[in-house]
Amino acid sequence: MHNLNNELEMLKQVIQDFEKDRPVNTAASAREVLETLDVGLSDSGCDSETLIAFAKQYVGLNPDVSQTDFFKLLYSGLNAPALFGEWVASLSNANMHTYQMSPVATLMELELIKQWNQLIGYEHGEGVLVSGGSQGNLIGMMLGRHHKVGDCKRLGLLGKTLVAYVSDQAHYSSQRAANLLGIGTDNLIGVASDEEGRLIPEELEKEIKSSLEKGHTPFYIGLTAGTTVIGAYDPIKPCAEIAKRYALWLHVDGAWGAPVLFSKDHRHLMSDVSLSDSMSWDAHKLLSVPLTASGIQVKNPGMLKDAIAGGGGEYLFHQDENADFNLGEKSIQCGRRADSLKVWMSWKANGSQGFANKVEHLQIMKAHCVEQIENHPRFTLLAPSAYLNILFRYEPEAALSEEQLRELNITICKNLKSKGSSFIDYASFKGRSGIRLILGNVDTTSEIVDNVLALCAEEGDLLTQ
């Protein structure tokens, strides 16, 4: 029998430290951390007290992403039911390749897949959980390749030059996918986006025609629902018509923006998503489930196994009474964590309505933030804000060049980060750089929004006086 009382006590001590008030970021450089923490390993072991001390330092030196002052990434906050699920999943060490190694987690994963298919409107859809939005987009492109070149799995690309299309605002994971799948990153076309950061369908069609003229083989369109920098939603319906006309696979990257599907008020941002062939989502972004927790949904059942399965039948995927429940043949991974547990626990605790409420609350906070920026004499909004990304900058009275404005706003971000008061970051859109504020924490209030804007303005004033 196991006795985990000691580990439980150890964890409690670390949690006590975690719960104490502390700055959102220590801003310690790698050199400074190495001076205080010896991460070297050696032949001899150590006692529990040493491990606790390291764990406390580890937590103390990590940015505290659970705080409402953490605006840097596409997630912020702490989702307690999901954290509980994460701990239980690690305790069981379930493996998702076969039903027999993860009976309940498999059924939970299938329920999550069913729920997402309903949200999207894939009537007979299938899906599988993946290691992140990047893998979701990789699988989406892989399905497109399989759809266009059926024998690709066995025979490779057969000398064809396959071409994929995403917007010039798409996440870099499409480049990774084009590289991994043998498409070549030069054959991933970044289609022009409009002033609101949305892919322009007419430009997409022009690019497809141009590829055809070169004798290339278009195969995949990857739209984004919620772009990384400004949160733009690509128009699905006109692109679905183009995909149909040229027999291309239509994938939607919903890693960041798909949670709007929970909200009656905001799901219009993804209207006609059911016209797509696949969609990826992340629960570890807006839904605040601990990293990683993501999935890919596919409209036509059977596609995943068709495109992916191969091998393992002799020792792993036994044809027993539960063979239909083995998720491993739909996955590019062999060993896979039971991520379903934390997503399911979070969904069970919050209900779908809880997720809808989060989207709606944060949209109200976003509207407040945009209004404050628009009414502030020193702030300029650099892009419209359809979702929960706000890109703006501080501009002093004196005219500065684009490069000077970029430097100024980067310095504002760095100074706030090193003071530990707010963790914000910078980004650029259409040649203009500014501060990217992400509203992802459900506990955000209008006072918190006002506070971070006031800190940015104060810092900007200080730097330009």
CB of 228 to ligand PLP, least distance (A): 4
Q: Does 339 bind ligand PLP (CB under 6 A)?
A: no
The backbone torsions φ and ψ at residue 430, rounded to the nearest 5 degrees and listed phi first, read 50, 45
- Kindly identify the residues of this chain, within the stretch 289-308, that bind ligand PLP according to CB under 6 A: 294
Q: Which residue is nearest to ligand PLP (CB)?
A: 133
β-partners of residue 256 are none
* Comparison of 219 and 256: residue with beta carbon closer to ligand PLP: 256
First-to-final CA distance of the chain: 68
Q: Does 259 bind ligand PLP (CB under 6 A)?
A: no
Alpha-carbon gap, residue 321 to 37, rounded angstroms: 52
Q: Does 138 bind ligand PLP (CB under 6 A)?
A: no
Q: Does 276 bind ligand PLP (CB under 6 A)?
A: no
Residue written as tokens 């590019």? 332
Q: Does 134 bind ligand PLP (CB under 6 A)?
A: yes
Q: Which stretch binds ligand PLP (CB under 6 A): 93-101, 111-119, 225-233, 243-251?
A: 225-233
* Comparison of 228 and 444: residue with beta carbon closer to ligand PLP: 228
Which of 173, 211, 276, 326 lies at the binding interface for ligand PLP (CB under 6 A)?
173
Q: Does 113 bind ligand PLP (CB under 6 A)?
A: no
* Comparison of 143 and 405: residue with beta carbon closer to ligand PLP: 143
Q: Does 132 bind ligand PLP (CB under 6 A)?
A: yes
Alpha-carbon gap, residue 166 to 317, rounded angstroms: 36
CB of 251 to ligand PLP, least distance (A): 11
Q: Which stretch binds ligand PLP (CB under 6 A): 104-112, 222-230, 374-382, 420-428?
A: 222-230
Q: Does 255 bind ligand PLP (CB under 6 A)?
A: yes
* Comparison of 163 and 230: residue with beta carbon closer to ligand PLP: 230
Element (H, E) at 324: none
Helix, strand, coil % in the chain, rounded to nearest 5: 50, 15, 40
Give the count of residues interacting with ligand PLP (CB under 6 A). Answer: 16
Per-residue H/E/C for 71-89:
CCCCCCCCCHHHHHHHHHH
Q: Does 133 bind ligand PLP (CB under 6 A)?
A: yes
Q: At what angle do helices 48-61 and 5-19 cross, to 10 degrees?
A: 30
Alpha-carbon gap, residue 256 to 388, rounded angstroms: 10
Q: Which stretch binds ligand PLP (CB under 6 A): 147-155, 232-240, 252-260, 396-404?
A: 252-260
Q: Does 197 bind ligand PLP (CB under 6 A)?
A: no
Alpha-carbon gap, residue 24 to 422, rounded angstroms: 7
- How many Cβ atoms sit within 10 Å of the Cβ of residue 291? 15
Nearest Cα neighbor of 164 from 198, 143, 187, 137 is: 187
Q: Does 256 bind ligand PLP (CB under 6 A)?
A: yes
How far, rounded to the nearest angstrom, does the alpha carbon of residue 420 sit from its chain's CA centroid? 25
Cis status of the peptide bond prior to 411, with omega within 30 of 0: no
CB of 227 to ligand PLP, least distance (A): 6
- Residues 6 or more apart whose CB falls under 8 angstroms from that of 76 comprise 65, 66, 67, 68, 70, 288, 438, 440, 441
Binding residues (CB under 6 A) for ligand PLP: these are 74, 132-134, 137, 171, 173, 224, 226-228, 253, 255-256, 282, 294
